[in-house]
Chain A
Amino acid sequence: MSPERGPLFLARRSYRRRRLADAARVLPILGAILFCLPLVWKGTAAAGGTVQAMIYVFGLWTVLILASAILSRHLRLDESERENWHSARTGADGE
C-alpha cells in the first residue's frame, strides 16, 4: 500500500464503520417491527396458525442472530484498525 493511498483508504474505512454502526442501531428496531408482524395476520383466517407463526418467529430469530454476528464481527475489525491508525498517527506526530 503506498502512503498516498493510505488516508483515502482509511477515510473510506471509517465512513464504512459509521454506516455499520448505523446498521447495528437499526437492527433491533427492525427486529421489533418484524416480530410484531404475526399480529397483523391474525385477522386473516387462512394463515393464522400457531405453526406458521412459530416457523416465522424462529426463522426471523435466526436471521437476526446471523445479522448481529456479522455486524459485531465487522464492528470489531474496524475498531481495532481505527485504533492502529490512531496510534500510527500519534507516533508520526511525535517524531
Chain B
Amino acid sequence: MTVLNLLILVCLSYVVLLFGVAFAADRAALAGRASWLRSSVVYTLSLSIYCTAWTFYGAVGFAARSGLEFVTIYLGPTLVMIGWWWTLRRLVRVGRSQRITSIADLISSRYGKSNLLAVLVTVLAVVATTPYIALQLQSVTLSFAAFAETDPTATTLPDMQSTALWVAAGLALFTILFGTRNLDANERHHGVVMAIAMEAVVKLFALLAVGVFVVWGLSGGIGPTLERIEASALARFEVSGGRWIGLTMLSAMAFLTLPRMFQVLVVENEADEHLRTAAWAFPSYLMLMSLFVVPIAVVGLDMLPAGANPDLFVLTLPLMEGRDGLAILSFLGGFSSATSMVIVAAIALSTMVSNHVVMPLWLHYSGMAAVVSGDVRNVALMTRRLSIAGVLFLGYVYFRVSGGGTALAAIGLIAFVGVAQFLPALMGGLFWRGATRTGALAGVLLGAAIWLYSLFLPSFGASALLPQAVLDQGPWGLGWLRPQALFGAEGMDPVIHALMWSLLLNVAAFILGSLLSFPQPLERLQGAQFVNAFDQPGAPGGWSGGMAQSEDLLTMAQRIMGAREAQALFADAARRQGVAGYLPEPSPDFLQELERALAGSVGAATAHAMIGQIVGGAAVSVEDLMAVADETAQIMEYSIQLEAQSQELARTARQLRQANETLTQISVQKDAFLSQISHELRTPMTSIRAFSEILRDNQDLTPEEQSKYASIIHDETVRLTRLLDDLLDLSVLENGQVDLNIQTGTLEALLDRSVRAAGGDGDGFRIRRVRADEQVELTTDLDRLAQVFINLISNARKYCDAKPAILEIRARLAEDRLVVDFVDNGSGIPTDKHAVIFEKFSRIGQTRASGAGLGLAICREIMERLGGDIAYLPGQKGGAFRVTLPLDAGRLPARGAA
C-alpha cells in the first residue's frame, strides 16, 4: 500500500473515530452519565481550539521567518488565563446568568438588547472568520499535497479544490449532526466538546512527537540543538518592540473576542471551577505547543532545500527522513487543529446568524401569530443548520477565490485585528456602567471600517480590491489617508499600524459616544446587572403583565423550548408562587426568568421582542426607572425590597380577587344546582308519567305500541337511577367513604376497555393512541380509573366541535408517575372556565348534552382517592386533560380506605 493510500485510510478512520466519540459522548450525556464530560480537564482541552492549523503548521513558519516572535501569539492568551480573576470570571458569570449564546448576544444584551448591534457584531464576525476558515481548508489541502508529492506511485496529484470541498462538506455534516442537536445554545454540545478535547490531545501529542524527533532524533539532544540555533539565521534576537508588545496584546484581545473562543470559554462553561483549573492548565498546554517550534524551524531551515515552505516543516521533516508513521501522526495533528477550529467557529457563527439575523427577520415578517402558533423551534433549528452550511460554504468560496496564496500567519493576524474591535464594547460593557449603545455602535463601526480599509482590503494584494494608486497616494490623492500609512504613520508594520489606529479610534468613539448619548432605560438596567454581576442582590424586573397572558406565554414557550421543558418551567414557577396548575402569575420575576430561558434558545434581543409582543406595551416601568436612577447600592436594595413588597401585595390582591371570583361562580352554581337537579329529574319523569297514563287510559293500543311505551318507561327509569347513582357516588367520594378495589393490569387494556365503554371510535370521532407507550403495569383501582377515562373520552365525543373530531391519548412516564393526556382538536375550554370545570353541575355554556355535569367532579374525586390528579392542560390546540397517577400503589393516601 502506498503512503498516500495509507494516509487516506488513516484519515478516514480518524474521522469515523471522531464521529464515534461525539456520538458516544452525546449518548452518555443523554443517559445522565455525563459528569466526567463536564470536568475541568475537558473544558481546558476544548480551549485548545485557539491553536488552529495556523498554530500547528504556521507557528514554525512564523518562527522560520521572524524567530522567537511567534511566541507572542501564545503569551497573550496565557496572560488572559492567568488573570482570570479579573475578566474571565466576570465574563463567565455574566454569560451564565444572562444565558448568553454568543459574543454578539452578550454585546447586544448589555446594550439594551439592541439587535442592530448584534447584527453589526455578527457581520463583522462572519467577515473576519471566513478567511480563517478558508485558511484551515487550505492547510489540510496543502499538507495533503505535501504527502502526494513525496509519493512516487501517485500517478496524479490529488485535486486541491476537491479535497477542500470534501473536507468542508464533511465538517458541515459533523457540525450539523452534533452542533444542532438541541436548540438551547446554552446547553453544552457534549459530543462536539468531547471530539474537540480528543483532537486537542492528538495535536499536542503530534507536535511533541515531531519536536522530540527533531531534537533527539535529528539534532542529538538538547545541547546540540541549542548550538544549532546559535549557529542558525535565527540566532540573533531581533524583535521589534512594537510588534512584540502589539502582538501580545492583540492575541490577548482576540482570545477573548474570537467567536469560537467565546463559544468554548463562556457559552460552554458550566462552573467557575473550570476556570480555576484552566487558569494554569491552559497556559501549560500553550507552552508545550510552542516548546519545540524554534528547534523545528531551525532544523527545517538547515536540512530542507532552500525553497521549501516553512509552514509545512512539521510535516516535511519526518517525510524527508522517511518516518512515514510520524508524518501521518503529524498530518493528523494538523487535521485535528483545522477541523476543531472550523467546527466550533461554524457553531458560534451559525448561532449568531440565526439568532440575530434570520430569526428577527422571520419574526418581523410573520409577526405575533407566528410567536404563538408557528413552529419557532423548527425554524430556529433549520436556520441554524443552514447557517452552518452557509458559513462553511463561504469559507470554501473564499478558499477558491483567493487561490490559497498568502502565507498562513498573515490571515490569522488579520482576523485577530478584526475581532479585536469587539473588545472596547465588551470590556466597557462589563466594567463601566456609563457605556451606552451609541458608544458601542460608534466604536465597533469605526474600528471595523478602519480595519477593513487599512488591513483587510489591502491583504488581497495590490490592485485586487484597492487600486494601487490608493495604496500609494491615498484616495483622491490625500496622502494622509493612505491605507497603510494613516495620518502619516509611515514605515510601521501593517498589522500593528491597523491595530493601533483601529483600536485607538474605536476606543475614542466608544468613550465619546457613551459620554455624549443618554442610555435607554433597558440599557441602564442591563448595564447595572452586567457591571454588578457579583454583588447584585436581585435584578429589578423588566416586565409586568396580566393573568390572561400566561397561556399565550406558555403556548409560545412550548413552540421554542419544546412542550415538556416549557410545561416544567411553568409548573415549577406556578408551584413557587403557590398557584395550582400550569399557569403562574406573569410576575416580573417570572417573565424575566422566562425571557432568559428563551434567550438561551433564540438570543436575548429576540427573546425580549417575543415576550414584548405578548406582554406588550412599555418594556420598563416607572419603578424600574427609579431603581436604575438610584445609584447607590443601599437605595437600590431598598427600592428592590419595596418593589418586592408591592409585588407581593399586588399578587395577594390578585389571588384574593381570583378566589372571590371562584367563590361567586360556585355560589351561582349552587343556586343553579336546584334548578339543574330539578330539570334532570323531571325530564325522565315526564316521559314516565305520560306513557304510564297512556297505557292506563287507552285500552285500544296495539301490542307493539304497548311494548314500545313500556320500554320507554323502562329506559327513563334507568336514566333516573343512573343520575341518582352519580349523585350518591359523588357524595360517597366526597366524604371519603369509598373502598378501593386494588387490581393490577396494563394501561393499554384499561384504555381499550374505556374506549369501548365510551362508544368506541367512529361516526366522525377518531381516537389516536400510541400503544407502545401504553405498556405500563398499573396497580390501582382499575374500575375507578376506567370511570375517569370513560368520562374524559365521552366528554371529548360530546363536546369536541371539530369535524372530524380527533382525540389523542398520550401516555408517558415522568419519574415515578404515569401521565396520560387526553387532547382533542376542538375549540377547548375558555380560560375563565378553567377554575370551575371540576366543580359539580358546571357545564360549559348552555349546551344540553346528556349528563348532569357531575362527570368531571367525580373524576376529580376519584383521582384524589387514587393519589393522583386530574387537571386541565392549557395551551394545547383543543380541550386537554392531564391525568397523573403514582405508579406505586403504596403511595395511595391512607384516608382512601378509611
Direct contact of A and B (CB under 8 A): yes
A14 in the interface (beta carbon within 8 A): no
Name which residue of chain A comes closest to B295, CB basis. A54
Q: Can you list the 5 inter-chain pairs with the closest CB atoms, starting with the nearest?
A: A28-B83, A69-B280, A24-B85, A68-B280, A72-B276
Against B, the Cβ 8 Å flags (1 = close, 0 = not) of A40-59 are: 01100000111111100110
Q: Which chain A residue lies CB-closest to B63?
A: A50
Q: B226–A51 contact, CB under 8 A? A: yes
Contacting residue for B244 out of A36, A51, A65, A71, CB 8 A: A36
With A50-B236, A58-B287 given, is the CB distance from A35 to B81 under 8 Å?
A: no
Question: Is A65 a contact of B237 with CB atoms below 8 Å?
Answer: no
Could you say which of B75, B82, B237 contacts A49, with CB atoms under 8 Å apart? B237
In the assembled complex, which residues on chain B have CB atoms less than 8 Å from the CB atom of A24? 83-86
Q: Given A24-B85, A25-B85, A35-B248, does the pair A75, B68 have CB atoms closer than 8 Å?
A: no
B273 in the interface (beta carbon within 8 A): yes
B241 in contact (CB, < 8 A): yes
Contact, CB under 8 Å: B245 / A36: yes
Let me know if A75 and B229 touch, CB within 8 A. Answer: no
A54 to B232, CA, bound (A): 14
B54 CB → nearest A CB, Å: 20
Closest chain B residue to A67, Cβ basis: B82
Q: Bound state CA distance, A51 and B229, in angstroms?
A: 7
- 8 A Cβ contacts from A24-38 to B: 24-25, 27-29, 31-32, 35-36, 38
Cα A48 to Cα B75 in complex, Å, equals 20
CA of A61 to CA of B79, assembled, Å: 10
Are A62 and B83 CB-contacts (below 8 A) given A50-B234, A53-B68? no
Of the candidates B86, B235, B241, the one whose C-beta lies within 8 Å of that of A50 is B235
Classify the interface of chain B: helix, strand, loop or mixed.
helix
Interface residues of B (CB under 8 A from A): 67-68, 71, 75, 78-86, 226, 229-230, 234-239, 241, 244-245, 248, 273, 276-277, 279-280, 283-284, 287, 291, 294
The reply to whether B68 and A27 form a contact with Cβ atoms under 8 Å apart is no
A45: nearest chain-B partner, CB-CB: B236
Residues of B within 8 A of A29 (CB): 83
- Cβ-based interface call for A92 (8 A): no
The answer to whether B78 touches A64, judged by C-beta atoms less than 8 angstroms apart, is yes
**Do residues A48 and B287 form an inter-chain contact, with CB atoms below 8 A?**
no
CA distance A39 to B517 in the complex (A): 42
Q: How far is the CA of A41 from the CA of B241 in the complex (A)?
A: 11
Size bracket of the A interface: 35 or more
**Contact: A39 with B291, CB < 8 Å?**
no
26 intermolecular pairs with C-beta atoms under 8 Å apart? A27-B83, A28-B82, A28-B86, A31-B82, A32-B248, A38-B68, A38-B237, A38-B239, A39-B244, A39-B245, A41-B237, A49-B235, A50-B68, A52-B237, A53-B68, A53-B237, A54-B294, A57-B71, A58-B291, A61-B75, A65-B284, A65-B287, A72-B84, A72-B280, A73-B276, A76-B276
Residue of A nearest to B294 (CB): A54
Contacts of A58 in B (CB 8 A): 287, 291
A10 within 8 A of B: no
Residues of chain A within 8 A (CB-CB) of B294 are 50, 54
**CB neighbours of B68 from chain A (8 A):** 38, 50, 53-54, 57
Name the CB-closest residue of A to B79: A28
Distance in angstroms between the alpha carbons of A65 and B674 in the assembled complex? 84
* Cα–Cα, bound, A62→B82 (Å): 12
B82 with A27: CB separation less than 8 A: yes
A21 near B287: Cβ-Cβ < 8 Å? no
Question: Which B residues are in CB contact (< 8 Å) with A72?
Answer: 84, 276-277, 279-280
- Determine how close the nearest CB of chain A comes to the CB of B628; give it in whole angstroms: 28
B240: nearest chain-A partner, CB-CB: A39
**Apart from A57-B75, A64-B78: 19 A-B pairs, beta carbons within 8 A:** A24-B83, A24-B85, A24-B86, A25-B85, A31-B78, A38-B237, A38-B239, A39-B239, A39-B245, A42-B238, A42-B239, A49-B236, A51-B226, A54-B229, A57-B71, A61-B283, A69-B280, A72-B280, A76-B276
Q: Quick one: which of A35, A62, A67, A75 contacts B75, CB cutoff 8 A?
A: A35
Whether the Cβ atoms of A50 and B237 lie closer than 8 Å is yes
Q: Which of B236, B280, B283 has the most CB of A within 10 A?
A: B280
Least distance between B85 CB and chain A CB atoms (Å) = 4
- Quote the shortest CB–CB distance from B238 to chain A (angstroms): 8
Interface residues of A in 66-85 (CB under 8 A from B): 66-69, 71-73, 75-76
Cα separation A93 to B279 with both chains bound (whole Å) = 37
Nearest CB of A to B872, in Å: 39
Bound Cα distance A48, B141 (Å): 39
How far does the alpha carbon of A24 sit from the alpha carbon of B89 in the complex, in Å?
12
Task: Please report the C-alpha to C-alpha distance between residue A38 and residue B72 in the assembled complex, in whole angstroms.
Answer: 12
| Chain A residues positioned under 8 Å from B230 (CB to CB) | 49-51
Chain A residues within an 8 Å CB radius of B284: 65
CA A28 to CA B79, docked complex, whole Å: 5
- What's the minimum C-beta distance from B763 to chain A, rounded to whole angstroms? 64
Query: Do A61 and B273 touch across chains, with their CB atoms under 8 A apart?
Result: no
CB distance from A70 to the nearest CB of B (A): 8
Give complex CA distance A57, B371 in Å: 56
Cβ contact within 8 Å between A61 and B239 = no
| Complex CA–CA separation, A54 to B71 (angstroms) | 9
Inter-chain CA distance A29–B283, complex, in Å, is 15
Shortest beta-carbon distance from B535 to chain A in Å: 14
B-chain residues with CB within 8 Å of residue A39 when the two chains form the complex: 239, 241, 244-245
Chain B nearest CB: distance from A7 CB in Å?
Answer: 22
Query: Distance in Å from the Cβ of B496 to the closest Cβ of chain A?
Result: 14
How far is B287's CA from A77's CA once the two chains are assembled, in angstroms?
27
- A65 and B86 contact, Cβ closer than 8 Å, known pairs A48-B236, A49-B236: no
Q: Note all chain B residues with C-beta closer than 8 A to A53.
A: 68, 237
Q: A75 contacts which of B81, B276, B287 (Cβ < 8 Å)?
A: B276
B280 surroundings in chain A (CB, below 8 A): 65-66, 68-69, 72
Contacts of A65 in B (CB 8 A): 82, 280, 283-284, 287
Smallest CB–CB gap between A34 and chain B, Å? 10
